[in-house]
């Protein structure tokens, strides 16, 4: 049996996930198994590039909170105009992005425009003997684009999958589906914030030099 090894990551979840990965897929809880790569990537990414979303804001770990780079990145996030997103789920995602990118409110003048399109699908899994589904995957996919002065500077796609039980009680199933939807939208929003933060981080020197 191979010796278990763990990386000294700052999050307990990531360390536990790596241990479970060494043991094999059958030993992993379903949620850890489903989001294994995502959790490890997020933890490793934060260590390598210094992405901190403390208080739902962005502050490089290797910069002081009042350094020109940190101030510029945080200020630029507040200067992103988040355009309306279609449907109720879109409204929830937009609110999540506003709270994360602009925890102290938007800037007086916008420098960037953020456009997001999101869709969701449901995939039945865990078929019972009577051919009905016992579980479902809720799949959310979002395409987003960041523009400056009408010119697109970055565009990307994020996707997340959250599973929930299909119970005999219809009310319980609806409640589980709603919880899964809320969780998926939060994960989509967090991923978009991280990727925008990485873009701004890579341009931090230009941002600090901007008037």
pLDDT at 110 over 50: yes
Domain spans in the chain, listed from the N-terminal domain onward: 79-209
The model's pLDDT over 50-81, given as tens digits with 9 standing for 90+, comes to 444 443 344 443 344 444 455 566 778 899 99
Distance CA 54, CA 60 (A): 10
- 5: which residues sit within 8 A by CB, 6+ positions away? 18, 22
Q: What string of H, E and C letters represents the secondary structure of 178-205?
A: HHHHHHHHHHHHHHHHHHHHHHHHHCHH
Q: What is the pLDDT of residue 25?
A: 40
The sign of the torsion formed by the CA atoms of 40, 89, 77, 111 equals positive
The model's pLDDT over 128-149, given as tens digits with 9 standing for 90+, comes to 898 889 999 999 999 999 999 9
pLDDT at 44 over 90: no
Distance CA 154, CA 195 (A): 10
The model's pLDDT over 141-187, given as tens digits with 9 standing for 90+, comes to 999 999 999 999 999 999 999 999 999 999 999 999 999 999 999 99
The model's pLDDT over 4-40, given as tens digits with 9 standing for 90+, comes to 443 443 433 433 333 333 444 443 444 433 443 344 4
Per CATH, the number for 79-209 is 3.30.160.150
Task: Please give the backbone phi and psi of residue 150, each rounded to the nearest 5 degrees, phi first.
Answer: 80, 0
- 161: which residues sit within 8 A by CB, 6+ positions away? 34, 137, 138, 139, 140, 184
DSSP lists the bridge partners of residue 127 as 133
- Are 130 and 137 in contact by the 8 Å Cβ rule? The answer is no
Count Cα atoms within 13 angstroms, Cβ side, for 176: 18
pTM above 0.75, yes or no: no
Task: Give the Å distances, CA to CA, from 157 to 63, 87, 115, 122.
Answer: 29, 19, 12, 19
Q: Is 143 helix (H, G, I), strand (E, B) or coil?
A: strand
Q: For residues 182, 185, 186 and 191, what is the CA-based torsion angle, rounded to 10 degrees?
A: 160
């Amino acid at each position: 049996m191979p010796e278990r090894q763990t990386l000294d990551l700052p999050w307990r979840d990531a360390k536990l996930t790596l241990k479970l990965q060494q043991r094999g897929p059958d030993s992993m809880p379903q949620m850890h198994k489903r989001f294994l790569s995502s959790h490890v990537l997020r933890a490793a990414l934060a260590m390598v590039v210094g992405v901190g979303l403390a208080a739902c804001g962005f502050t490089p770990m290797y910069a002081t909170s009042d350094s020109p780079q940190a101030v510029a990145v945080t200020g630029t996030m507040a200067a992103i105009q988040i355009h309306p997103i279609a449907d109720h789920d879109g409204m929830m995602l937009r609110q999540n992005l506003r709270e994360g990118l602009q925890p102290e409110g938007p800037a007086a003048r916008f420098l960037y425009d953020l456009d997001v399109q999101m869709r969701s699908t449901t995939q039945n899994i865990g078929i019972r003997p009577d051919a009905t589904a016992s579980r479902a995957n809720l799949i959310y996919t979002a395409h987003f684009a960041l523009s400056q002065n009408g010119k697109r500077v970055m565009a990307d796609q994020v996707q997340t999958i959250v599973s929930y039980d299909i119970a005999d009680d219809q009310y319980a199933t609806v409640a589980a589906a709603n919880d899964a939807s809320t969780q998926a939208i939060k994960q989509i929003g967090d991923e978009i914030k991280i990727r925008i933060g990485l873009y701004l981080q890579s341009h931090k020197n230009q941002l600090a030099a901007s008037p």
